[in-house]
Amino acid sequence: MRVSLKYGKDKLPVTIPDSLTTQIIEPPPLPAVDSPDEAILAALQNPIASPALTDTLPADGEVAIVVSDKTRSCLYPELLPLFLNYLNASGVPDKRMVLLVAYGAHKSHSEAENLRTYGEEVLRRLRLVHHDCRDAPQLFYLGRTRRGTEVRLNRKYLEAVATVTFGGVGVHYFAGFGGGRKMIFPGLASEEGILHNHRIFVEATGGRLEPMRRFKARLDNHPLHDDLTEAVAMAPPSFSLNVCLNEAQKVAGVFAGDWQESHRLACELVLRTCVPRGQKYDLVIASCGGYPKDINLIQAHKTIDNAFALVKTGGTIVVLARCEDGIGSESFLRWFDYPDTATMREALLSMYTMNGGTALALKAKAAACDIHLYSGLEEKDVEKMGLQPVGDVQEALARIVADRNIRSVAILPEGANTVVSPE
């Protein structure tokens, strides 16, 4: 069998011997809406558990539109202009709007990345404000959650007369689902607050794989999600616009209105794309699905996590992830100085750094199966993470098949979106 798998902005041909039992596994398809423009307008005109946005907009003052960064696809160049026009027709000119980029702790965009992420028209019409989780004067203290998470949020967001979150919704391996409340916290939060919230993943799971899996694709009985919700409830957005994309990166659903209820309904639609639990395979070959899902190792870990749910204990995973932006975290690699998950967990609990939970989750998976990575990362960095670097995918597959008595193979062309149904 010969398949073409996405790798960055390119495609890579891969051939699997016909002697092996091979299954291509893709998310159940979500049909695209007939017209994204009509879907957004319908959602805005029929909000969920909320007054219409146009009924609540003050006559003057700044409206902040909170958007995701380059790591979260939401078709902004296509969809944002329609929303801006809608606000114009409701009496809000472009000069009263600001686009607030919810980076969380991610790196700020270059001008070229702004253009690629939001489009020329949006950049021409609106002023961009880039959140910086380490810029103390830009943040205002609101309090602490019951779990002790500091809540400091972006002043521009807090000072706006109306705030709208506009982002995509997808499964997240430790927050349950992305989008919605995550656009405010951690999107517009302080570094200290983000670290404390993410640390919950380490505390609650103990570095063990089974508890980790219970954090994924869930909202109920979820301590990290509950902490996020409590934080955002201190300064909730006026309105939320949640977009669900299908495997072809087309709009499959739009849910607008109350920041919690509209997001929950979007999550329910996303759950329909989960793969049923069942057979596991000797070998799983997974593409992240190309850019931006494989923009860095942190994002590629979502695909590794999805592939791990489909591989047999002690099996083999081969991941294709370009990682053009490298690891995606300055502190990530140093966690692999610890020899095992137990010592890493103890260190994380005493001095948690950004993406520490991801490091722990990756180390646990690498201890349970063989993970091979074809990427643009340096071999020494791949090896330090407990992964095996791949120089030539076809040669690596031939060696794996010969050495490990492979009989069953699963291919994930859209690995970042191929989520096994939660238990």
Asked whether residue 49 carries a pLDDT value surpassing 90, the answer given is yes
Domain boundary pick from 222, 243, 271: 271
Residue after which a domain boundary falls, among 251, 271, 291: 271
Please indicate, yes or no, if residue 253 is contained in any of the structural domains.
Answer: yes
The reply to whether 219 and 344 lie within a common domain is: no
| Number of compact structural domains in the chain | 2
| Contact status, residue 94 vs residue 125, Cβ threshold 8 Å | yes
The per-residue pLDDT for 192 is 96
Pair of tokens at residue 344: 């890493």
In which band, very low, low, confident or very high, does the pLDDT at 13 lie, cut at 50, 70 and 90? very high
- Mean pLDDT within 144-154: 97
What is the predicted pLDDT for the residue at 209?
Answer: 84
CATH of the domain at 369: 3.90.226.30
Tell me, yes or no, whether 291 and 167 share the same domain: no
Same domain flag for 339 and 200: no
Is 113 domain-assigned?
yes
User: How many whole angstroms from its chain centre is CA 286?
Assistant: 17
CA 201/CA 211 separation, integer angstroms:
9
Residue 31 lies in a domain: no
Q: Which of 81, 62, 8, 73 is nearest to 249 (CA)?
A: 73
User: Is residue 413, in this structure, part of any structural domain at all?
Assistant: yes
Given 208, 237, 271, which residue is the final one in a domain? 271
Do 110 and 177 reside in the same domain of the chain?
yes
Same domain as 282, residue 266? no
pTM: 0.89
Please say if the pLDDT value at position 214 is more than 90.
no
Do the domain assignments include residue 356?
yes
- Asked whether residue 226 falls in the same domain as residue 98, the answer is yes
Q: What is the pLDDT of residues 306-350, one digit of tens each?
A: 999 999 999 999 999 999 999 998 889 999 999 999 999 999 998
| Distance in angstroms (rounded) separating the CA atoms of residues 302 and 417 | 8
| pLDDT tens-digit map of 172-188 | 988 999 999 999 999 99
Predicted local confidence at residue 111, as pLDDT: 94
Cα angle 99, 100, 101 (rounded to 5 degrees) comes to 115
Residues 21 and 91 in one domain: no
Q: What is the mean pLDDT of residues 42-54?
A: 96
Same domain, 310 and 406: yes
Same domain for 261 and 284? no
Contacts of 210 (CB under 8 A, 6+ apart): none
Average pLDDT over the chain, rounded to whole?
Answer: 95
According to the model, what pLDDT value does residue 244 have? 97
Do 114 and 210 share a domain, yes or no?
Answer: yes
CATH of the domain at 209: 3.40.50.11440
- Residue 72 domain flag: yes
Indicate if 376 and 401 belong to the same structural domain.
yes
Pair (223, 123) in one structural domain: yes
Residue 423 forms part of a structural domain: no
Its domain, for residue 43, covers 36-271
Q: Is residue 12 part of a domain?
A: yes
Confidence of residue 2 (pLDDT cuts 50, 70, 90): very high
423: pLDDT strictly greater than 80: no
Residue 361 has pLDDT above 80, yes or no: yes
pLDDT band at 253; cut points 50, 70, 90: very high
Q: 């430790």: which residue's tokens?
A: 174
Instruction: Indicate the angle between helix axes 356-368 and 341-351, nearest 10 degrees.
Output: 180
Question: What's the rounded Cα separation, in Å, for the pair 350 and 347?
Answer: 5
Does residue 13 have a cis bond before it (omega within 30 degrees)?
no
Mean pLDDT of 63-70: 96
C-alpha to C-alpha distance for 159 and 256, rounded to whole angstroms: 22
Query: Per residue in 264-302, pLDDT tens?
Result: 999 999 999 999 988 999 999 999 999 999 999 999 999
